[in-house]
């Protein structure tokens, strides 16, 4: 049976920040085959917030983003290219990442966890000393949060050709509403406002702030519970460095 | 215990699957769809590839495209191009209107079977597992994920090295046109999670995407939610469509649709392809020629299983013709045909392979999914558009073709005519110029050794002439000659071939840069080098007395050579890939065999 020191659910910004800060042997399972969906694929644009990084991990990402022109002085971040930066961080840290992978069970043992995964290789079990869940609604989708659908739209048939001026429209969804309703609402919005849809997000957007909590022995640090992706990277790193 | 029972479950609601779902529901079947991502349409919608250049007309997809075109006005569009979100919305709407049920963000984790009959699936969504029963399961996951779970047999990749053609990494951008940026990124193995994940991470850091600085000229929106896989694993079906069937225009029994495209393989490492494809690509330069291919019922019925249909990208074809049977509308037709097959099997209470073809044909013809008018034969893409290919049928036409811009068609026509034109071709060797070179290539395809002296000269001189047969992916006649010297097992050419391997740098200096085949001089060098290596191995394989010497040479010059980087630009201005290790692995495999 495969063993790892740290197992993280979700290839999120918080996840990679945590792995960076702990510097342990890390396995990450991600349900999709894209990194950082909680900010990039969800078009998750909250109010701009200037983040001050204290951890070495956060400072590293901040430097990378600033150097590449992805972070402006107001704290606004150009999310999609930040995913490419995140991929580089994953490779640098030698994280063992599994895309298209479901976590089907997490069982607490006396001195760690038994995690069951499913992907194209079939079912596998991993023994992990530590497990952290960074997904939006928890690995077993049992955490309640405010759900939104965000769309990139061009008002008056124009895209303002500046990175932080792309207009992302968030529309609230009820907990029970899924993708069919999300698309219907977006189309209705576009018709009403005479806006042209550039793209509807590929992931739901969760905009509320969430404090890390522990449930059944698994620490839940939802990446999109932070202000933005840099805050998530820094916040995840800071949280784990402070105590666990 | 399964919670619900359906007539049909469609696994994977992509290009083929979404159509299968809608058609099944429209036919009155109780239908359930299971999709891994959050929308329908697969590569044609979420994957960003909204339109394909080829594929044949007819079928219920056309009505859906018209509806999508109407809805398109609500979507941002510049430069005549729009992202294909409207199609995803239309597919979803039509599925609901037809009464289909479906679930997104769900993964099939188990297939329920009784003896060899597929009876249902277990899927996981929202952290819960659900079991469903069905009379027929349609696997349109692209990789035959369901068929794999129930132990069906597959083939994958080329015979020589098992490799599939390159995949595309797709990113949605606005520059300010909203569009997809798709670059050939390398090779991906969707059956090995670690390999697949590492490859996708690497693709994200390619210089197209991970830049030192991001300007304002382009807005990156988001990554496509899956890689653009052109070729994956292929089901072993009751029947299999091959490149040979297509090139010989074989009429299939029980045809369900005609596919139409060129053999659009993106692989640059042509040297490692099978002989027939190399004859077509390398000798005749016919990469860009389109052909209609009949796909029979048996190509979607996996061997040894009942209650299961496998279609889309994974249908039962050989790896060469897989590059041709993959266009969007053809995959949509595949979905429609599978739905009709499932309907008839259920209504007639028969096995899928016993579906009454006359009834199926009538259903398919009604929507235009099957239309004899789509059995068009061969078409060549020219500056003036698509022109029907007429193969030379007599010596006069043949000579005209071989001496002019249609030389590739002449070469292929001569191959079809066989022995009866060999002496004439040999006569034309003395006439010199392009005619003699093309006649030599045509002769060699008939295993006629009279071609050898001229072929040796063409190889030795690294002849850089590029015939004008096709508009893309045509090789120099020097590379063609190298391939044919191996094909004819010409021992006299061994020093010439060894010289090319040792001094491929000489090819790099060549100023031949044509289309996507030769983006730069390194690409030219790679073609000479890789084909010379394979030619030497071909000679060694057929001439026992030269084996030891050739193997020793390749051991030293290829396997023990640490400095030999072989850079190749992947198609479509894709990334530069170092092929040195691939060549080494190939040589090692053949030497040890």
Report CA-CA distances (Å) from B23 to A242, B49, B299, B333.
57, 23, 19, 11
Domain spans in chain A, listed from the N-terminal domain onward = 2-142+209-241, 147-206
CA distance B127 to A140: 4
How many residue pairs bridge chain A and chain B with CB atoms within 8 Å of each other? 172
Name the residue facing B213 among A69, A100, A183 (closest C-beta): A69
pLDDT (tens digit per residue) in B313-342: 999 999 999 999 999 999 999 999 999 999
At B517 the pLDDT is 84
> How far B86 CA lies from chain A's nearest CA (Å)?
10
In degrees to the nearest 10, what's the CA dihedral of B385, B388, B389, B392?
A: -120
Instruction: Give the residue, B436 or B577, on which the prediction is more confident.
Output: B436
Which residue, A134, A196, A187, is CA-closest to B88? A187
Residues in CB range of B542: below 8 A, 6 or more apart: B489
For residue A201, which residues of chain B lie inside 8 Å, CB to CB? 222
Residue A126, strand partner residues: A2, A115
Q: Does B176 touch chain A (CB under 8 A)?
A: yes
Q: Does B77 touch chain A (CB under 8 A)?
A: yes
Region of poorest pLDDT, from A15-19, A195-199, B338-342, B512-516: B512-516
Tell me, rounded to whole angstroms, the distance of Cα A213 from its chain centroid: 17
For residue A183, which residues of chain B lie inside 8 Å, CB to CB? 39, 88-89, 92
CA distance A200 to A183: 8
Q: With 80 as the cut, is the pLDDT of residue B77 above it?
A: no
Q: With 80 as the cut, is the pLDDT of residue B361 above it?
A: yes
Q: Average pLDDT for residues B240-247, to the nearest whole number?
A: 96
The pLDDT confidence band at residue A204, using thresholds 50, 70 and 90, is very high
Q: Does B582 touch chain A (CB under 8 A)?
A: no
Q: With 90 as the cut, is the pLDDT of residue B176 above it?
A: no
Nearest chain A residue to B200, by CA? A33
B220 contacts A78? CB cut-off 8 A = yes
Q: With 90 as the cut, is the pLDDT of residue B352 above it?
A: yes
pLDDT (tens digit per residue) in A207-222: 898 989 988 789 999 9
Q: Does A32 touch chain B (CB under 8 A)?
A: yes
Q: Does A91 touch chain B (CB under 8 A)?
A: yes
Q: With 70 as the cut, is the pLDDT of residue A13 above it?
A: yes
In degrees to the nearest 10, what's the CA dihedral of B297, B352, B233, B336?
A: 60
Q: Does B171 touch chain A (CB under 8 A)?
A: yes
B89 contacts A183? CB cut-off 8 A = yes
Please, which residues 183-222 of chain B have a Cβ atom closer than 8 Å to chain A? 190-194, 196-198, 200-202, 204-205, 209-217, 219-222
In degrees to the nearest 10, what's the CA dihedral of B499, B505, B506, B512?
A: 130
CA distance A188 to A209: 28
Q: With 60 as the cut, is the pLDDT of residue B480 above it?
A: yes
At B409 the pLDDT is 97
ipTM of the complex: 0.96
Q: With 50 as the cut, is the pLDDT of residue B378 above it?
A: yes
Region of poorest pLDDT, from A96-110, A154-168, B320-334: A154-168
Q: With 60 as the cut, is the pLDDT of residue B222 above it?
A: yes
Name the residue facing B222 among A41, A139, A183 (closest C-beta): A41
Q: Classify domain A2-142+209-241 at the CATH class level.
A: alpha beta
Other C-beta atoms closer than 10 Å to the C-beta of A36 total 33
On whether the CB atoms of residues B149 and B110 are closer than 8 A, the answer is yes
On whether the CB atoms of residues B267 and B230 are closer than 8 A, the answer is no
At A244 the pLDDT is 45
Report CA-CA distances (Å) from A152 to A86, A169, B119.
22, 6, 42
pLDDT (tens digit per residue) in B2-43: 889 999 999 999 999 999 999 999 999 999 999 999 999 999
CA distance B458 to B447: 17
CA distance A7 to B308: 37
Q: Does A201 touch chain B (CB under 8 A)?
A: yes
On whether the CB atoms of residues B154 and A139 are closer than 8 A, the answer is no
**Torsions phi, psi for A7 (to 5 deg):** -120, 125
Half-sphere exposure of B537 (CA within 13 A, CB side): 22
CA distance B349 to B329: 30
At A157 the pLDDT is 59
Q: Is B153 helix (H, G, I), strand (E, B) or coil?
A: coil
pLDDT (tens digit per residue) in B522-542: 888 999 999 999 999 999 999
The pLDDT confidence band at residue A149, using thresholds 50, 70 and 90, is very high
Percent of chain B with pLDDT over 70: 97
Q: Average pLDDT for residues A108-122, to the nearest whole number?
A: 96
pLDDT (tens digit per residue) in B259-298: 999 999 999 999 999 999 999 999 999 999 999 999 999 9
Q: Which two tokens stand for residue A233?
A: 């990277």
> How far B294 CA lies from chain A's nearest CA (Å)?
31
> How far B209 CA lies from chain A's nearest CA (Å)?
7
Percent of chain B with pLDDT over 90: 79
Q: With 50 as the cut, is the pLDDT of residue B192 above it?
A: yes
pLDDT (tens digit per residue) in B392-430: 999 999 999 999 999 999 999 999 999 999 999 999 999
Other C-beta atoms closer than 10 Å to the C-beta of B286 total 26
pLDDT (tens digit per residue) in B481-520: 999 999 999 999 999 999 999 987 766 666 566 677 888 8
The structure's pTM equals 0.96
Q: Are strands B31-34 and B101-103 parallel, antiparallel or unpaired?
A: parallel
For residue B219, which residues of chain A lie inside 8 Å, CB to CB? 159, 161, 163, 166
For chain B, the average pLDDT equals 93
Q: With 70 as the cut, is the pLDDT of residue A160 above it?
A: no
Q: Which two tokens stand for residue B119?
A: 């009876």
CA distance B378 to B388: 6
Q: With 90 as the cut, is the pLDDT of residue B97 above it?
A: yes
Other C-beta atoms closer than 10 Å to the C-beta of B111 total 23
A118 contacts B220? CB cut-off 8 A = no
User: What radius of gyration do chain B's Cα atoms show?
Assistant: 25
Instruction: Please report which helix (H) or strand (E) contains residue B139, including its range.
Output: strand B128-139
Q: With 60 as the cut, is the pLDDT of residue B81 above it?
A: no
The pLDDT confidence band at residue A165, using thresholds 50, 70 and 90, is low
Please, which residues 24-63 of chain B have a Cβ atom closer than 8 Å to chain A? 36-39, 46
Name the residue facing B85 among A69, A191, A197 (closest C-beta): A197
CA distance B421 to B428: 11
DSSP assignment of chain A? -EEEEEEEES--HHHHHHHHHH---EEEE-SSSSS-TTTTTTT---S--PPPP-SHHHHHHHHHHHHTT-B-TTS-B-HHHHHHHHHHHHHHTT-EEESS-EEEEEEEETTEEEEEEEETTEEEEEEEEEEEE-SSS-TTS-----EEEEEEEEETT---SSGGG-EEEEEEE-TT--HHHHHHHHHHHHHHHTEEEEEE-SS-EE-S----EEETTEEE--GGGSSSHHHHHHHHHHHHHHH-
On whether the CB atoms of residues B87 and B68 are closer than 8 A, the answer is yes
Instruction: Give the residue, A217 or B122, on which the prediction is more confident.
Output: B122
Report CA-CA distances (Å) from B523 to B52, B278, B314, B369, B574.
27, 17, 31, 41, 13
At A195 the pLDDT is 84
A33 contacts B214? CB cut-off 8 A = no
| Best of A202, A203, A220 to mutate (most B CBs within 10 Å, chain B) | A202
Q: Average pLDDT for residues B202-229, to the nearest whole number?
A: 91
> How far B181 CA lies from chain A's nearest CA (Å)?
14
Q: Does A218 touch chain B (CB under 8 A)?
A: no
Report CA-CA distances (Å) from B406 to B390, B466, B471, B475.
11, 12, 11, 14
Q: With 50 as the cut, is the pLDDT of residue A164 above it?
A: no
For chain A, the average pLDDT equals 92
CA distance B96 to A180: 10
Please, which residues 97-156 of chain B have a Cβ atom closer than 8 Å to chain A? 104-105, 107, 109, 124, 126-127, 129, 143, 145, 148
Tell me, rounded to whole angstroms, the distance of Cα B431 from its chain centroid: 39
For residue A118, which residues of chain B lie inside 8 Å, CB to CB? 107, 109, 124
């Amino acid at each position: 049976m495969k063993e790892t020191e740290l197992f993280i659910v979700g290839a999120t910004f918080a996840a990679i920040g945590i792995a960076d800060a702990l510097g342990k042997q890390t396995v990450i399972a991600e349900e999709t085959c894209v990194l950082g969906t909680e900010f990039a694929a969800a078009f998750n644009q909250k109010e701009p917030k200037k983040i001050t990084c204290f951890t070495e991990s956060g400072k590293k990402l901040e430097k990378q983003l600033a150097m590449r022109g992805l972070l402006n002085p107001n704290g606004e971040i150009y999310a999609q290219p930040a995913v490419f930066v995140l991929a580089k961080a994953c490779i640098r840290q030698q994280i063992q990442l599994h895309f298209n992978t479901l976590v089907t069970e997490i069982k607490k043992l006396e001195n760690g966890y038994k995690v069951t995964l499913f992907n194209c290789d079939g079912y596998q079990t991993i023994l992990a000393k530590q497990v952290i869940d960074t997904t939006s609604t928890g690995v077993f989708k049992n955490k309640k949060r405010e759900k939104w659908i965000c769309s990139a739209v061009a008002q008056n048939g124009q895209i303002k050709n500046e990175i932080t001026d792309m207009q992302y429209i968030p529309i609230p969804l009820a907990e029970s509403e899924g993708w069919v309703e999300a698309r219907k609402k977006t189309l209705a919005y576009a018709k009403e406002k005479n806006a042209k849809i550039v793209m509807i997000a590929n992931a739901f957007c969760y905009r509320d702030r969430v404090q890390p909590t522990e449930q059944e022995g698994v620490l839940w640090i939802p990446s999109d519970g932070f202000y933005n992706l840099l805050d998530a990277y820094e916040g995840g790193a800071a949280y784990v460095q402070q105590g666990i | 215990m399964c919670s619900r029972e359906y007539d049909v479950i469609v696994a994977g609601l992509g290009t083929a699957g979404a159509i299968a779902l809608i058609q099944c529901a429209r036919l009155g079947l109780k239908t359930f769809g299971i999709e891994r991502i959050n929308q329908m349409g697969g590569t044609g919608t979420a994957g960003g590839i909204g339109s394909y250049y080829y594929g044949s007309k007819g079928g219920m997809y056309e009505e859906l495209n018209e509806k999508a075109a109407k809805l398109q006005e609500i979507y941002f569009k510049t430069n005549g191009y729009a992202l294909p979100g409207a199609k995803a919305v239309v597919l979803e709407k039509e599925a609901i209107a037809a009464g289909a049920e479906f679930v997104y963000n769900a993964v099939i984790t188990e297939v329920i079977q009784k003896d060899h009959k597929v009876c249902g699936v277990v899927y996981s969504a929202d952290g819960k597992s659900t079991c469903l029963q069905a009379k027929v399961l349609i696997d349109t996951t692209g990789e035959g994920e369901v068929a794999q779970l129930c132990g069906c047999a597959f083939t994958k990749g080329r015979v020589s090295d098992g490799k599939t053609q390159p995949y595309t990494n797709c990113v949605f951008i606005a520059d300010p046109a909203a569009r997809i940026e798709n670059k050939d990124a390398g090779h991906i193995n969707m059956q090995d999670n670690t390999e697949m994940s590492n490859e996708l991470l690497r693709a994200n850091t390619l210089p197209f995407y991970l830049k030192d600085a991001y300007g304002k000229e382009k807005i990156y929106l988001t990554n496509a939610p899956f890689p653009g896989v052109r070729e994956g694993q292929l089901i072993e079906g009751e029947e299999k469509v091959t490149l040979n069937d297509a090139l010989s225009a074989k009429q299939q029994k029980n045809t369900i649709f005609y596919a139409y495209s060129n053999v659009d393989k993106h692989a640059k490492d042509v040297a490692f392809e099978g002989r027939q494809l190399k004859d077509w690509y390398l000798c005749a330069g016919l990469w860009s020629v389109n052909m209609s291919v009949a796909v029979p019922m048996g190509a979607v019925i996996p061997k040894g299983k009942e209650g299961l249909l496998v279609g889309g990208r994974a249908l039962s074809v050989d790896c060469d013709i897989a590059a041709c049977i993959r266009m969007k509308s053809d995959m949509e037709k595949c979905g429609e045909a599978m739905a009709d097959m499932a309907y008839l099997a259920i209504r007639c209470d028969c096995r899928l392979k016993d579906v009454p073809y006359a009834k199926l044909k009538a259903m398919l013809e009604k929507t235009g999914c099957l239309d004899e008018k789509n059995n068009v034969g061969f078409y060549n893409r020219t500056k003036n558009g698509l022109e029907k290919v007429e193969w030379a049928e007599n010596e006069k036409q043949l000579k005209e073709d071989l001496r002019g811009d249609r030389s590739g068609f002449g070469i292929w026509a001569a191959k079809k005519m066989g022995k009866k034109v060999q002496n004439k071709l040999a006569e034309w060797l003395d006439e010199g110029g392009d005619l003699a070179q093309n006649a030599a290539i045509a002769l060699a395809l008939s295993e006629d050794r009279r071609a050898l002296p001229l072929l040796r000269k063409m190889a030795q001189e690294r002849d850089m002439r590029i015939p004008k047969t096709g508009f893309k992916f045509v090789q120099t006649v020097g590379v063609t000659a190298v391939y044919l010297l191996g094909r004819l097992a010409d021992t006299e050419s061994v020093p010439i071939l060894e010289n090319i391997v040792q001094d491929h740098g000489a090819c790099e200096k060549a100023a031949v840069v044509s289309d996507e085949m030769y983006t730069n001089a390194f690409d030219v060098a790679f073609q000479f080098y890789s084909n010379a290596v394979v030619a030497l191995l071909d000679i060694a394989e057929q001439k026992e007395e030269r084996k030891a010497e050739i193997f020793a040479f390749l051991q030293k010059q290829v396997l023990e050579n640490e400095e030999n980087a072989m850079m190749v630009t992947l198609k479509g201005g894709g990334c530069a890939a170092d092929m040195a290790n691939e060549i080494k692995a190939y040589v090692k495999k053949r030497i040890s065999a």
